[in-house]
Amino acid sequence: MPAADSALLVGIGDDAAVASPDRGALQVLTTDALVEGVHFDRRFSTPADIGYKALAVNVSDVASMGGRSRFALLSLMLPAETTIAEVDGLLDGLLDLAAQTRISLAGGNITRSPGPLVVDVTLVGSVRPRKVLRRSGGKAGDILYVTGHIGAAAAGLDWLRHESARTTGEHPRPSDESLAECVTRHCRPEPRARVGSILGRTKAASACMDLSDGLADAVAGLAAASGTGARIDSDLLPVHPGAREWFACRGTDPISASVSGGDDYELLFAVPSRKRSRLRGVIREARGLTFTRVGELTSGGSVDLVRNGRLEPLPSGFVHF
């Protein structure tokens, strides 16, 4: 269990938690539920992976708003056959990421589920006034950047599904190191918590979204909220090497698969030209994380991909319903 945050005045043990907000700060609130068979498959992910991911997806949301995650509430809806060892593993994974990101588990609830396993996390963060990042702040001419690599989680999930059709074992992992990174990215996404808060604090970015549903979804969402179009250059996209190789060997276009696949949990953000020097400071503080210029916001309403010198519609992102 991570050390308790001094602002958590009443934690687990009472009917509700009590916390003191950061002085002069705004609260950032988010919640995400992971449902077995929709967001994870227990053949592919260990209980610890599931707990880790349940917190990670929420941390990513707070980071995309420029905030810092502080307190988590965990609700578990457990099928009757769930074992104590599985619950312990799930908590171990969640608390692993909580320790890394200095988040306090403030409380939660456990109930029986007549259906699948459901893991629901509510996260409370904080951000200073005028430091909030939103989707709607971009302007035509702003440069679009993305952290890390794209396509890894989608490739990892595709490999897991392919492997499960061939074998009966649980939690398979590839021997190829690069492809193994893709599988890890699906099972244990790494939210860009620190970078999000730096982007907000320095006001280097005009708008930001996380890549929960793919780069294509984030580009379209950010452009729509900002009232702009967008143009992405396929030659600039930081497709993960393992994802590029896997999709190519499967006869799938690596670019289309990587921009439309979800679960990368990288950050897409827009930077006005006049703030490029601030971005250089962010990159220095990011301690080795890569930042890639992938395109720009445009004055038109279309969202396009430039490939081989030609414009084509950007593929759709992940669709839930």
Residue-wise pLDDT for 154-169, tens only, equals 999 999 999 987 777 7
Residues in the chain: 321
Spatial distance between the Cα atoms of 134 and 277, rounded to a whole number of angstroms: 21
Cα-Cα-Cα-Cα dihedral sign, residues 256, 260, 264, 270:
positive
Spatial distance between the Cα atoms of 321 and 317, rounded to a whole number of angstroms: 12
In degrees and rounded to multiples of 5, residue 137 shows phi and psi of: -90, 0
Alpha-carbon distances of 96 from 58, 227, 239, 247, rounded to whole Å: 15, 40, 28, 31
Q: Are the C-beta atoms of 101 and 193 separated by less than 8 Å?
A: yes
- The pLDDT, as a whole number, for residue 1 is 59
- The pLDDT, as a whole number, for residue 6 is 83
Percent residues over pLDDT 90 in the chain: 87
> Would you call 117 helix, strand, or coil by DSSP?
coil
Alpha-carbon distances of 75 from 111, 257, 290, rounded to whole Å: 8, 33, 34
Which region, left, alpha or beta, applies to residue 227 given φ > 0 means left and ψ of -120 to 50 means alpha?
left
In degrees and rounded to multiples of 5, residue 219 shows phi and psi of: -60, -45
pLDDT in tens, 170-217: 888 999 999 999 999 999 999 999 999 999 999 999 999 999 999 999
Q: In terms of pTM, does the model score above 0.85?
A: yes
pLDDT of 320 above 60: no
> Would you call 98 helix, strand, or coil by DSSP?
helix
pLDDT in tens, 75-132: 999 999 999 999 999 999 999 999 999 999 999 999 999 999 999 999 999 999 999 9
3-class DSSP string for 214-248: CHHHHHHHHHHHHCCEEEEEHHHCCECHHHHHHHH
In degrees and rounded to multiples of 5, residue 111 shows phi and psi of: -145, 165
pLDDT of 27 above 60: yes
- Mean pLDDT of the region 220-246: 98
- The pLDDT, as a whole number, for residue 319 is 64
- The pLDDT, as a whole number, for residue 241 is 98
Identical fold, 22-127 and 135-313 = no
pLDDT in tens, 131-146: 999 999 999 999 999 9
**What are the residue ranges of helices labelled H in 74-214?**
84-101, 152-164, 177-187, 193-202
> Would you call 317 helix, strand, or coil by DSSP?
coil
Q: Are the C-beta atoms of 155 and 26 separated by less than 8 Å?
A: no
- The pLDDT, as a whole number, for residue 321 is 47
Give the pLDDT band (50/70/90) at residue 318.
Answer: low
Angle at 121 between CA 117 and CA 123, to 5 degrees: 175
- The pLDDT, as a whole number, for residue 169 is 73
pLDDT of 220 above 60: yes
Spatial distance between the Cα atoms of 178 and 248, rounded to a whole number of angstroms: 14
285 vs 4, residue with greater confidence: 285
Domain chopping of the chain, boundaries: 22-127, 135-313
Burial of 216 (0-12, 13-18, 19+ CB in 10 A): buried
pLDDT in tens, 196-208: 999 999 999 999 9
pLDDT of 2 above 90: no
Spatial distance between the Cα atoms of 93 and 291, rounded to a whole number of angstroms: 28
Burial of 11 (0-12, 13-18, 19+ CB in 10 A): middle
* Average pLDDT score over the chain: 94
For 22-127, give the CATH class: alpha beta
CATH architecture group of domain 135-313: Alpha-Beta Complex (3.90)
Helix (H) or strand (E) holding 200: helix 193-202
pLDDT of 301 above 90: no
* Token pair 């449902």: residue: 35
> Would you call 191 helix, strand, or coil by DSSP?
coil
Spatial distance between the Cα atoms of 202 and 200, rounded to a whole number of angstroms: 6
For residue 34 the two structure tokens come to 């992971």
